[in-house]
Amino acid sequence: MTTHERPLDSVLETIGRTPLVRVHDGPDEVRIYAKLESFNPGASVKDRIGRYMLERMLEREEISPGGTVIEPTAGNTGIGLAIAAQQLGLEAIFVVPERFSVEKQQLMDALGAEIINTPTDAGMGGAIDRAHELAAELDDAVVPQQFSNPLNTEAHYETTAPEIYDALDGEVGAVVAGCGTAGTLMGLARYALEVHDDTHVGAVEPHGSLYGELLGDDREEGEYKIEGIGTHDTDTNELFDPGLVDAVYSVSDREAHDELRRLAREEGHLVASSAAAASVAAKRVARSIADGKLETPHETVVTVFPDSSERYLSKEIYRSFEAWSS
């Protein structure tokens, strides 16, 4: 399931089939599993959509070999798209808000992509606008636009979800995942609800993010350190379908930081803040099931650990909460 036993022709073929591993800090009677997406060649969940979106766009002739892919991205999507673009004969340009990790930008550069930074203050909206401006200036350029492209969701519906269901023989009671674009959660949710329409679907966001408002929850907008998930402007998160989501779990920077250190120290998972936030929320869901407050078709909660902590060492991720969050 998680191994590639035959020799492979290209690094693209190593994408997916990542391990699903138990998280041992929940209630005894409810099993929690995490899909370890750092096992992908670009070390994040975004390798899946990089390959999937570009292959489908080439098939549909939305771009041709030699053309240019331009994407606004926090980094991991850039790495996934850079690997796929390179292997599929495309050029890549990424528009990255300044606050994101320098490690990711160095890796995109190493993979042959061009990087353009936009001001932190302009947020992801500013990066999206700049990507479209650039695309209009070039011939044969596309903006896959992970925030609105249904292929993002489809990549997870077609790959991540069936891998999870195969590994657990279909015994999934809840799916819980952090939402950046929400592609991961939406792909899992669609698949899960087809299998069992009472599967619990939980979105995860940092304190200060506004996804909860889409389900009618009160939220106070604020800054957060957790990287890769959350939104300040729900208009840009076109993939998130509130009709598929039962609850939006809000996790503080402090909870995520405590959990990322615990996951490393106790369980050997070198994962970053969005994975830790997902773990905190998955444990909340597991506790609700164990306490009889939440009924699910199976006593199993599945979450996704999107990437690894190594990518954030320059941000003092394993030092004190104060050092990380200052």
Choose between 155 and 289: whose C-beta lies nearer to ligand PMP: 155
Task: Give catalytic status of residue 101 as yes or no.
Answer: no
Backbone angles phi, psi at 137, to 5 degrees: -85, -15
Enumerate the β-bridge partners of residue 118: 97
46, 104, 283, 315: the catalytic one is: 46
Would strands 31-36 and 200-206 be described as parallel, antiparallel, or unpaired?
A: unpaired
Nearer to ligand PMP, 182 or 256 (CB): 182
Tell me the C-alpha to C-alpha distance, in Å, between residue 288 and each of 83, 200, 218, 246, 301. 40, 11, 21, 13, 11
Beta strands in the chain (DSSP E): 20-23, 31-36, 68-72, 91-97, 114-118, 141-142, 174-178, 200-206, 247-251, 300-305
Strand order in the sheet with 114-118: 114-118, 91-97, 68-72, 141-142
Residue from 38, 209, 274, 279 carrying the catalytic annotation: 274
Write down the residue that tokens 């598929």 correspond to: 244
274 noted as active-site residue: yes
Which residues have C-beta within 8 Å of that of residue 6, sequence separation ≥ 6? none
**Measured from the CB atom, is 176 or 289 closer to ligand PMP?**
176
Distance between CA atoms of residues 224 and 230, nearest Å? 9
| Residue 292 CB, nearest approach to ligand PMP (Å) | 30
Entry field: residues in the chain: 326
The single residue listed with the structure tokens 């096992």 is 39
The smaller minimum CB distance to ligand PMP, of residues 30 and 227, is found at: 227
Q: Is 277 exposed, middle or buried (0-12, 13-18, 19+ CB in 10 A)?
A: buried
**Shorter beta-carbon distance to ligand PMP: residue 118 or 289:** 118
Question: Shortest Cβ distance from residue 66 to ligand PMP (Å)?
Answer: 28
Binding site for ligand PMP (CB under 6 A): 74, 76, 178-184, 227-229, 272, 274, 306-307
Q: How far is the CB of 6 from ligand PMP (least distance, A)?
A: 29
Catalytic center residues: 46, 274
